[in-house]
Amino acid sequence: MVKSSFAEASTRLEQALKYVNISDDAIARLQYPKASVSVSIPLRLDDGSLQIFRGYRVRYDDTRGPAKGGVRYHPQVSLEEVESLAFWMTFKCALLNLPFGGGKGGITLHPKSLSKQELERVSRSYIDAIADFIGPDVDILAPDMYTNPTIMGWMMDQYSIIQRSIVPGVVTGKPLSMGGSQGRETATSLGAFYVINTILSKFDQSPQETTVAIQGFGNAGAVIASLLANIGYRVVAVSDSQGGIYAPQGLNIPSIRQYKLAKQRLQGVYCDNSVCNIVEHEIISNADLLSLDVDVLIPAALENQITPDNAHTIQAKYIFELANGPVTSGADEILEKKGISVFPDILVNAGGVTVSYFEWVQNRNGYYWSKDEVTQRLKKRMTQETETTWSIAQEFDISMRIAAYIHALERLGEAMDAKGTRNYYQQ
């Protein structure tokens, strides 16, 4: 049985706690989100009727700084899912040593069913509903599934209207023209690219002899496909919500991306076409893609994709979690027994929040960096934290996932204890 996403997150915490010496106070604080809001979001549809959506924002922990995390638009968004994602953000920010806590938000809706004007109205309506709960020093928003820079721009603008002043630091992942950072759009995948190269070089696995399958062809999946293909990795399969394509000799990633992009433009903010329409390939299902005999598997779509039900079918040697939570804890055990190494979401996809941090710093200073400067800083941080996590994994002979949680927990525990009052009661 697949555990709830919050139970999944807690399991990882419990596993890591065995190796970390942190206070009972810190452990107790990490059991529950600090604050959650659930709001109703009214939307006037183009036909004049009114529809109400459910929306959420969660601040899981803000000991190390303002909460930070994306906003997801998806029909499956629930408070429980948002809480789990905020929990993950807490660990991700600590792992990368960013001065942020963890937050997340979402609206339960099917964005592809809305027009561009309706999307703008619902995004502004969401900000109206949560404006008192967020802020550049409190809780900072960013893109996640089915949200993008355009939507972040609307959200920043709406918050600024409410505050009667321009507040670029409340939202990251904005368009460049509204205070976005160079390199933000591709940062998640570029960060993953540095992690993948750092790790595979330890196994003497060169790009030219490495085959890759990628589930999900959105912001994250399409960019990592290009980055890897550009330096010689053979990307043999990609998929989206409607299915996948497979070519053992390697896919032509630029032409697939061009196709998706062209159709997207025709369709407005969202593309409702599938990569399946590209020719010269074999059509496969998402289940087929996950079980392909490849060196590297990159889930870059949704959570809970590799579970105890299908873990035994996985043949890849290395799994890099570009999506949040694609491998369940039950699947972790099976994969470990099969000798498959899993590299965790909180490390692999942390490039996005790292450049979001850079964007927030630039917004506060009113001074903007070049793309090269952003890229160099991202590379340095991703490589450094990957190396430290690797050393912890080697030292305790544990998985990279547990090592990443240990590394983050040590930073979180230290910050919580520095704030704590327990010592007064012990005197």
Residues of this chain that interact with ligand NAD (CB under 6 A) are 143-146, 188, 215-221, 239-241, 286, 300-302, 322-324, 349, 352
Report the half-sphere exposure of 34 (CA within 13 A, side-chain side).
18
Whose Cβ is closer to ligand NAD: residue 76's or residue 117's? 76
* Sheet containing 211-215: order of strands: 282-284, 243-246, 234-240, 211-215, 296-299, 318-320, 341-343
Write the CA distances from 287 to 100, 325, 335, 405, integer angstroms: 36, 17, 16, 29
Cα torsion angle, 394, 400, 401, 406, sign: positive
Q: Among all residues, whose Cβ is closest to ligand NAD?
A: 218
Marked catalytic residue, from 3, 34, 92, 104: 104
Whose Cβ is closer to ligand NAD: residue 19's or residue 259's? 259
CB of 212 to ligand NAD, least distance (A): 15
Write the CA distances from 201 to 197, 205, 210, 284, 387, integer angstroms: 6, 6, 11, 30, 12
Whose Cβ is closer to ligand NAD: residue 344's or residue 352's? 352
CB of 321 to ligand NAD, least distance (A): 9
Cα torsion angle, 92, 183, 226, 216, sign: positive
Q: Closest Cα to residue 321, out of 300, 291, 336?
A: 300
Whose Cβ is closer to ligand NAD: residue 300's or residue 316's? 300
How far is the C-alpha of 153 from the C-alpha of 172, rounded, in Å? Answer: 9
Determine contact, residues 55/73, Cβ cutoff 8 Å: no
Residue 36, classified by CB atoms within 10 Å of its CB into exposed (0-12), middle (13-18) or buried (19+), is middle
CB of 37 to ligand NAD, least distance (A): 20
Whose Cβ is closer to ligand NAD: residue 169's or residue 344's? 344
Write the CA distances from 320 to 153, 342, 397, integer angstroms: 30, 6, 19
CB of 36 to ligand NAD, least distance (A): 19
32 secondary structure, DSSP code: S
Q: Closest Cα to residue 401, out of 289, 339, 337, 321?
A: 321
The 3-class secondary structure across 232-273, one letter per residue, is CCEEEEEEECCEEEECCCCCCHHHHHHHHHHHHHHHCCCCCC
CB of 255 to ligand NAD, least distance (A): 16
Tokens 């979401």, residue located:
345
Q: Is residue 104 flagged as an active site residue? A: yes
How far is the C-alpha of 144 from the C-alpha of 323, rounded, in Å? Answer: 10
Whose Cβ is closer to ligand NAD: residue 353's or residue 398's? 353
Helices 253-267 and 219-230 cross at an angle (nearest 10°) of 150
Whose Cβ is closer to ligand NAD: residue 42's or residue 254's? 254
How far is the C-alpha of 349 from the C-alpha of 220, rounded, in Å? Answer: 9
CB of 323 to ligand NAD, least distance (A): 3
CB of 300 to ligand NAD, least distance (A): 5
CB of 143 to ligand NAD, least distance (A): 6
Total number of residues shown for the chain? 427
How far is the C-alpha of 386 from the C-alpha of 304, rounded, in Å? Answer: 24
Whose Cβ is closer to ligand NAD: residue 136's or residue 191's? 191
Catalytic annotation, residues: 104
